[in-house]
Structure 1
Amino acid sequence: MKKSHGPAFRSARIELAMCSACRGRAVVQGVFHELPCAQCNASGWVSAETGQALPLDVLVTQLSFRLQATQHQIKQLRRPVLMNGPAVQYEHNNRRGAGGSNYTGD
């Protein structure tokens, strides 16, 4: 059965693109100083489909989705790489060599 009224169960993901007016900087150069970009509501991001600025409440949600995805990617990249095979012997000190150094048996 399709939902016909009320808010959506999940927030829709909207594809974002950098604002062409400010090039993602959120400000444009005025005569004497920088001014907030009016095309993107001073966020640097617009809808990729329409090129229009998003309402602020929708923009906050979409930026939060992007931040969470980026934090997840950073967490995945920081995870230590587990080594297998003979390379493990060269990476960790087994303290069997002279003066407690690494001995590989080569």
Structure 2
Amino acid sequence: MKKSLRPEFSRQLMSLSACPECRGLATVNGLYGPRPCMACNVSGWVDAGTGEALPLEELVTQLSLRLQAAQQQIEQLNKPALMGPAAQYQQNNRRGAGGTNYTGD
């Protein structure tokens, strides 16, 4: 029998859109000032397919998945891309003795 993740633990990224009531701000202007938007559970996000607010458990999961993806993208953009002779010194080419870095010096 092949091992696999249980379906309740494998969450997929859903498509979300800005709430049409509050336009993604999580508050709407009321008679006595801003008030929380209940159409999106005060998150500013709704399901793009149905336009309904997500349950809080699902909302936390979806926002966490989006945050993790954004952090990975930021890390990739912050990595300096070395070019030329500097790249040879920073990366291991495994051409030296015992698989060490050989720079030719």
- TM-score of the aligned structures, taking structure 1 as reference length: 0.70
CA deviations 1:15-64 (Å, max 9, x no partner) are 11111111111000112211110110000000011010000000000000
Which amino acid in the other structure matches residue 10 of structure 1? S
| 1:75 shift after superposition | 0.6
State how far apart, in whole Å, the 1-side matches of 2:7 and 2:50 are: 23
Tell me what 1:44 maps to. 44
Q: CA RMSD in A?
A: 2.0
1:75 is paired with a residue whose SS is helix
Give the share of equivalent positions with the same residue, in percent.
54
Larger Rg, first or second structure (1 or 2): 1
Tell me what 2:54 maps to. 54
Tell me what 2:32 maps to. 32
Which amino acid in the other structure matches residue 25 of structure 2? R
Q: How many residues align?
A: 82
- TM-score of the aligned structures, taking structure 2 as reference length: 0.70
State how far apart, in whole Å, the 2-side matches of 1:75 and 1:54 are: 29
Tell me what 1:100 maps to. none
Tell me what 1:11 maps to. 11
Structure 1 unaligned regions, length at least 5:
89-106
Q: 4+ residue stretches of structure 1 with deviation over 4 A? A: none
| 1:14 shift after superposition | 1.4
